[in-house]
Amino acid sequence: MNLPANQTRHLAGPDALAREIPDGASIGLPPDYSPVAMAVVRALVRRGAKDLKLIGVPVLGLCADILIGAGCVREVETSAVTLGEAGLAPRFTEAAEKGAIKVIDATCPMIHTGLQATEKGVPFMPLRGVLGADLVKHHPDWKTIDNPYAKGDPILLAKAIVPDVALFHARWADEAGNVWVGRRRELATIAHASKACYVSYEELKPGDMLDEELLAPGCIGSVYVTAVAPAPRGAWPLGVPGAYGIDDAHLMHYARLAKTAAGFRQYLDEFVFKTVAA
Amino acid sequence: MSYAREELLAVAIARLIGDARHVAVGAASPIPAMAVFLLQQKNRGMPRVSLLQKRSGNPFTEGSRELFDLAGQGRIDVFFLGGAQIDGEANINLVEAEGKRFPGSFGSAFMYFAAKKTILFREEHSPRVLVKKVDFVSAPGWSPPEVQRRGGPAALLTGKALFAWQKDARRFRLESVHPDSSAQDVRANTGFEYDAPASVPQTAPPTSAELALIRGPVARVIAENYPGFAKRVWRG
């Protein structure tokens, strides 16, 4: 497995990023409390993306529910799908109950461990615990081995996870193609492990953030980043730590509408299709 | 003295936490959070609490995997888990039951092993939740001897009763019933077998000193972190 050393491209906006993500791609996505590229998710729905596989790192929320409801998704691997305080993710729940999508149930640290294996370029990585959970029986890529350093000590292996695409939102990008995510380092893990990495951002900084000692540790270096594009308030209705919070009222509104297929279509008409393409 | 059910449950959880050094509390767990903040008021800031999935209130700078790395090292003493179903062997199910899909297992399959002590907490006490055998094991209540496991269940607290987990017998034992329930009520609403003493004590209610702390400094911290919950329990 070879992953690319990128020269980051600067694109026009969310729709340009969405055009880069092919049908059938597996996409590593952050949870709702980390910046999610919601503007790009809406653009994926507008372009009629198909057969996507979503990988929750380690769980999924609103973006997955919208993509599933819009018929963009074939498969989900995640430790959970939830709207948090707004309750169950209604489109995911219905699709899973009807068997309309394939769901591979994981547990948070097994997802992180699989991505960390890819970060190191090794085929698998062990993790304690989990043995005896039905998750192990149903997961196609988890194997139990005997610890080669000790007798009679079974331990679980996570196969390296290599998403086709990492997709998330960042507070800043710079002219050099670095993106700043602060303490949301799961975004770095996804970027490091993916074949391509697409990032929407709030604001563009001139120059190179890696030259600034205080900003550099919160950055993902451009070598991992395929393309960036501006999307002010691009995580809305989710938040960007330090910039704006989650729009709880909107999430409740979504959760109510999305309980039915008709309500969900109404939501898409109002908040996804009506938006002028960037 | 009158008190809310949430206050009784928080005091019961505080007793279960005991003298732990580090307690991790999930985003949707205001009652366990109340218990920890109460202990901090009583014990000059101890234990340390990490509020998960929040921007602040936790020590994490390495993203969402750090909790699990930290727990894997043994740095978390107490964790909380619930379940769409919980069975008599302390297995929990967060995935699916009777054709209904739930959000998923989150980190339970790891944290149940890695945290030194897990308190199972589910307010609904019904045969639908407390079942003989879960439909799907998200995280097992016990492991065979060859499987390395640092911790596991310590107790199961519901809206009606407190059960202690008996590790060697792999069974729950009824410890106490809450003032608005009874041993018969608990038996009728529990789908699994468990041990019980001939005479079941009542869960000790909050003392007036505990209530003063809960309604003062604890309520203020809870209102910052769980505003909807605080409004419901203390009417603003």
**B101: closest CA of chain A, how far (Å):** 6
- The minimal CB distance from B101 to the residues A93, A108, A135 is found for A93
- The minimal CB distance from A85 to the residues B28, B107, B143 is found for B28
Find where tokens 């008599």 sit. B88
Asked if A58 and B62 come within 8 Å (Cβ–Cβ), the reply is: no
Task: Work out how many CB contacts closer than 8 A connect A with B.
Answer: 140
Model confidence over A246-265: pLDDT tens digits? 999 999 999 999 999 999 99
Nearest CA in chain A to B143: A132
Task: Measure the CA–CA gap between B65 and A153, rounded to whole angstroms.
Answer: 24
**Residues above pLDDT 90, as percent of chain A:** 95
Average pLDDT of the segment spanning A105-113? 98
Q: Are B159 and B9 contacting, i.e. CB atoms less than 8 angstroms apart?
A: yes
Task: Measure the CA–CA gap between A11 and A200, rounded to whole angstroms.
Answer: 9
- Res. A169: pLDDT tops 50: yes
Residue B54 confidence class, pLDDT cut points 50, 70, 90? confident
Average pLDDT over chain B, rounded to whole?
94
C-alpha pair distances (Å), A209 with each of A198, A206, A234: 18, 8, 21
Asked if A183 and B61 come within 8 Å (Cβ–Cβ), the reply is: yes
- The minimal CB distance from B147 to the residues A84, A97, A154 is found for A154
Residue B52 confidence class, pLDDT cut points 50, 70, 90? confident
What's the pTM? Answer: 0.95
Asked if B114 and A129 come within 8 Å (Cβ–Cβ), the reply is: yes
CB atoms within 10 A of CB A60: 29
Nearest CA in chain B to A244: B55
Residue A278 confidence class, pLDDT cut points 50, 70, 90? very low
**A135: closest CA of chain B, how far (Å):** 6
| A152 interaction partners in chain B (CB closer than 8 Å) | 146
- Testing the interface with B: which of A60, A85, A108 to mutate, by most B Cβ within 10 A? A108
Asked if A108 and B114 come within 8 Å (Cβ–Cβ), the reply is: no
Find where tokens 């009777």 sit. B98
Model confidence over B149-199: pLDDT tens digits? 999 999 999 999 999 999 999 999 999 999 999 999 999 999 999 999 999
**Predicted local distance difference test score (pLDDT) of residue A170:** 98
φ/ψ of B207, rounded to 5, equals -80, 165
Asked if A82 and B27 come within 8 Å (Cβ–Cβ), the reply is: no
| B60 interaction partners in chain A (CB closer than 8 Å) | 183
Average pLDDT of the segment spanning A61-89? 96
ipTM: 0.95
Asked if B28 and A84 come within 8 Å (Cβ–Cβ), the reply is: yes
Residue A233 buriedness (CB in 10 A; 0-12 / 13-18 / 19+): middle
Average pLDDT of the segment spanning B40-47? 90
**Predicted local distance difference test score (pLDDT) of residue B226:** 84
**Predicted local distance difference test score (pLDDT) of residue B51:** 84
- Res. B1: pLDDT tops 80: no
Asked if B143 and A130 come within 8 Å (Cβ–Cβ), the reply is: no
